[in-house]
């Protein structure tokens, strides 16, 4: 816990998700061969990217923070020797410590390697969090509101969770399983899915289906939550049910951009997009409006505002109590869902009616055939 008048400090590790991210910050990279840019990024040192100012809770409390760049693309996290990757993340944490941060958040793939943050946290002298509890809270809140808006009755719905054995997917599945009619857990490892299905039966009293095939697993799902560590698109236009909602939590996104063009009858929303209280300046363009952040960043800010310098979300067994707790703390400080974003654009209300109309037309035409 910290003194009430103190300005607590946090840091957040970031990395580019794709070439678009790289060239937004470094326009000259757009004219270079992607292989060369990849190589240069692999050599670049971990460094302080920007200072984050102006975050102010509705309680009046302020915090100060920094973005620290671990300049790897998602594929680097798989290609490069694991110990080197872990070492770069620890370098980022040390920069956070030197800046005076009391807590550091692990963004993107920095929270996936090393047992979802547990390994790097052992070398840290400050608190470390993946931000996944608040990501789960906001993805669930957004998915349920969006489903209602396009007329899905949750009690009667089939929900599919892709990446169900992961940190975010597991908690989403455990929360939603008692709210829906049917659930399918999807990932590549069948063994891990079977284990989770057993846990869900034991703890939540519900039988669930499992699948290692995304296409068949989501074919008749009304709600799809996707939170995987895939580096490419895995949810394709032809696999989605008319009138369904897909919450894409993954970064980089799992849903193919073709869905936007080919499936006007499906609602795709980005998970974990949050409005930050205060007159915020990230001093760095990560592709969102100035007062909007990802939920994982927001969790680090909320914990800093609370003076809760603890390893809040680490590992792949996030407890639902933590999800509820961080949601409450977020509300207390004035953090909220930043509306609905779909394929990098905020959705206006007319869109929900347009999707409903396109879905009923699609259903009617498939019945005629
Ligand atoms: N929006 C936000 O604020 C925010 C915040 C935090 C994280 N994220 C993103 O959320 C995603 C998930 O994070 P996490 O921490 O939950 O990761 P995680 O714990 O590593 O879990 C990843 C899950 O995806 C599955 N998976 C990986 N590749 C797959 C594929 N090709 N097909 C099907 N399943 C696959 C894994 O199981 P198998 O290995 O068995 O397939 C596992 O179940 C990441 O993209 C991360 O960057 C977003």
Ligand 1 mean position to 297 CA, how many Å?
Answer: 17
- Mean pLDDT, to the nearest integer, of 247-257? 96
Residue count of the chain: 369
- Rounded CA-CA distance 128/131 in Å is 9
Distance of CA 56 to the CA centre of its chain: 23
Distance of CA 105 to the CA centre of its chain: 13
- Rounded CA-CA distance 15/113 in Å is 13
> In this structure, which residue's CA is closest to atom 29 in ligand 1?
230
Percentage of the chain exceeding pLDDT 90: 86
Express the helix, strand and coil content of the chain in percent, nearest 5 each: 45, 20, 35
Which tens digits make up the pLDDT trace of 59-116?
Answer: 999 999 999 999 999 999 999 999 999 999 999 999 999 999 999 999 999 999 988 8
Does residue 288 have its Cβ closer than 6 Å to ligand 1?
no
**Cα 181–229–198 angle (5° rounding)?**
40
What is the H or E stretch that residue 365 is in?
helix 350-368
Which atom of ligand 1 approaches the CA of 188 most closely? 41
- pLDDT confidence of residue 115: 84
What is the H or E stretch that residue 87 is in?
helix 82-99
- Mean pLDDT, to the nearest integer, of 52-56? 97
Could you give all domains of the chain from N- to C-terminal order, each with its CATH number? 8-133+273-337 (no CATH), 137-272+341-368 (3.40.50.720)
- Rounded CA-CA distance 266/358 in Å is 8
pLDDT greater than 80 at residue 5: no
Which tens digits make up the pLDDT trace of 282-338?
Answer: 999 988 998 999 999 999 999 999 999 999 999 999 999 999 999 999 999 999 999
Residue 112: is the preceding peptide bond cis (ω within 30°)? Answer: no
What is the H or E stretch that residue 362 is in?
helix 350-368
Does residue 225 have its Cβ closer than 6 Å to ligand 1?
no
Give the residue, 255 or 32, on which the prediction is more confident. 255
Sign of CA dihedral 163, 254, 109, 103: negative
- Rounded CA-CA distance 178/348 in Å is 31
Which atom of ligand 1 approaches the CA of 74 most closely? 47
- Rounded CA-CA distance 177/55 in Å is 36
pTM, entire model? 0.96
* Least confident range of 25-39, 55-69, 260-274: 25-39
- pLDDT confidence of residue 261: 96
Ligand 1 mean position to 353 CA, how many Å?
Answer: 31
Does residue 293 have its Cβ closer than 6 Å to ligand 1?
no
Which of 78, 227, 272, 314 has most ligand 1 atoms within 8 Å of its beta carbon, as the pocket-test mutant? 227
Phi, then psi, of 233 in degrees rounded to 5: -70, 135
Which atom of ligand 1 approaches the CA of 187 most closely? 34
Phi, then psi, of 11 in degrees rounded to 5: -135, 160
């Amino acid at each position: 816990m910290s003194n009430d008048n103190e300005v607590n400090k946090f840091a957040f590790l970031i990395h580019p998700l794709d070439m678009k991210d790289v060239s937004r910050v470094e326009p000259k990279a757009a004219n270079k061969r992607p292989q060369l840019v990849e190589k240069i990024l692999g050599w670049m040192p971990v460094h302080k990217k920007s200072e984050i100012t102006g975050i102010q809770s509705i309680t009046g409390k302020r915090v100060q923070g920094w973005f620290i760049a671990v300049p790897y693309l998602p594929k680097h996290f798989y290609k490069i020797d694991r110990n080197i990757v872990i070492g770069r993340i620890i370098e980022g944490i040390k920069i956070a410590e030197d800046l005076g941060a009391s807590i550091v958040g692990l963004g993107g793939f920095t929270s996936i390697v090393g047992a979802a943050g547990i390994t790097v946290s052992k070398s840290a002298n400050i608190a470390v969090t993946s931000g996944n509890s608040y990501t789960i809270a906001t993805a669930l809140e957004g998915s349920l509101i969006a489903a209602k808006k396009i007329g899905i009755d949750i009690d009667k719905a089939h929900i599919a969770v892709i990446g169900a054995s992961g940190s975010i997917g597991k908690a989403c599945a455990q929360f939603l399983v008692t709210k829906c009619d049917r659930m399918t857990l999807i990932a590549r490892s069948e063994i891990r899915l079977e284990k989770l299905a057993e846990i869900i039966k034991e703890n939540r009293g519900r039988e669930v289906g499992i699948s290692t095939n995304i296409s068949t697993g989501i074919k008749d799902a009304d709600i799809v939550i996707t939170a995987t560590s895939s580096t490419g698109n895995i949810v394709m236009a032809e696999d989605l049910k008319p009138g369904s909602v897909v919450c894409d939590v993954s970064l980089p996104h799992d849903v193919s951009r073709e869905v936007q063009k080919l499936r006007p009858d499906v609602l795709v929303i980005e998970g974990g997009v949050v409005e930050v209280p205060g007159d915020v300046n990230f001093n760095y363009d990560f592709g969102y409006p100035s007062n909007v952040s990802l939920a994982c960043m927001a969790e680090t800010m909320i914990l800093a505002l609370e003076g809760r310098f603890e390893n809040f979300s680490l590992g792949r067994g996030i407890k639902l109590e933590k999800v509820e707790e961080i949601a409450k703390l977020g509300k207390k400080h004035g953090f909220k869902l930043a509306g609905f974003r779909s394929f990098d654009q905020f959705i206006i209300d007319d869109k929900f009616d347009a999707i409903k109309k396109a879905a009923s037309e699609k259903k009617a035409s498939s019945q005629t055939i």
